[in-house]
Amino acid sequence: MTAQAEPLELVKLTKRYGDTVAVDAIDLRVPAGTYCCLLGPSGCGKSSTLRMIAGHETVSDGDLVLGAHNISDIPPAKRKTSMMFQNYALFPHLSSRDNVAFSLKMRGIDAPTRYERADAALALVQMEGFAKRRPNQLSGGQQQRIALARALVTEPSILLLDEPLSALDPFLRIRMRAELKRLQQDLGITFIHVTHSQEEAMALSDLVVVMNDGRIEQAGTAREVFSRPRTPFVARFIGGHNVVDGRVDRIENGLIHFAVPTGRAAARAPDAALSTGDPVSIAVRADQITLAQGNQAANDNANSLSGKISSIQYQGSFVEVRVDAGQAEPILVTVPDSRFDAAPVAEGEDATLTWPIEDGHLLASASA
């Protein structure tokens, strides 16, 4: 089973439901053969975007271009796309083989050909031994594989997946995550996968697209998005980061120094268009912050916040410590368990948080 991968481009793509704008003039290019995850909270517009690509929602404005063709007004069956639905939508009265072959039957393909292709699709997802079983005779993970085979049997250029792992238990979710990545690499086609799971997007994606309020906040590789989040929303949503807010105090030697309620902070930003008094935010990874007991002075090349420990949660190989330090949210610090055991702290104690200036990453506003 092979398909010709083609690039997909979204040009000012917009979806309105009455007066509500669900997707707000987004631009995105997905290279051919890419595993792309649309990531964001519920209601951010990711599923509406996926359904417009599939043709299950009309485009209110803008264009969808697949390869050299504008597919915005083309019926779903002629788009070279195939969609795997969140609830799998298998026909309960049909066998696995007939479920997989159903879309080919609707296209008028003769029985020998469609069953040959269905058997090949079942083998691709390692379900050939379950061809005669009906959905109620299959586990959740097996049903998912059948739904995946049915989506692939039409040999699409793009496979669209709407939260395909959300109904699975955590162990099976990790296993199926690896299977999806293997399939995408083996087939060489484009996968566009909607998820609200940061871990899922990080593990699978060549391209992560973080959406919020109908817009794209940031698009890039998983490493780029995690290491250099663009906005406070991305830093908070992607996880593992703290956002430290303040106002510009002074700018000198390529450093922005800003005032914070319980200490001092600075970040390198030689090209930032900021003035004294402007609001400013930086992102700092939780694993790059050093936690010390009491209120201690920081060295000259460090940022420093003081506060009180509000919670401690053991996570196995590390301990999550949260410190109230005059910010909108407690500052999260991840401490290796061996380091925590060597210098334990307790809730309610005073603490000092420090990190090197180089580890603070200046954030843009969401509208920048």
Q: Over 60: is that where the pLDDT of 366 sits?
A: no
User: For residue 71, what pLDDT is reported?
Assistant: 96
> Stretch 145-153: mean pLDDT, rounded?
92
Q: Over 70: is that where the pLDDT of 253 sits?
A: yes
| Residue 216 bridge partners (DSSP) | 211
> Stretch 43-61: mean pLDDT, rounded?
97
Cα separation, 159 vs 189, whole angstroms: 8
User: For residue 270, what pLDDT is reported?
Assistant: 65
Give the tens place of pLDDT for each residue, 70-122: 999 999 989 999 999 877 889 999 999 999 999 899 889 999 999 999 999 99
Q: In what order do the strands lie in the sheet with 81-84?
A: 81-84, 158-162, 190-195, 35-39, 207-212, 215-220
User: For residue 159, what pLDDT is reported?
Assistant: 96
Give the tens place of pLDDT for each residue, 37-51: 999 999 999 999 999
Query: Within its chain, how far is the Cα of 106 from the centroid?
Result: 34
Residue length of the chain: 368
User: For residue 146, what pLDDT is reported?
Assistant: 94
More confident residue, 255 or 323: 323
Q: Write down the pTM of the prediction.
A: 0.90
Q: Over 50: is that where the pLDDT of 207 sits?
A: yes
Residue whose entry in the numeric block shows the structure tokens 């109904």: 167
Give the tens place of pLDDT for each residue, 192-204: 999 999 999 999 9
Q: For the chain, which domains are there?
A: 8-227 (3.40.50.300), 232-362 (2.40.50.100)
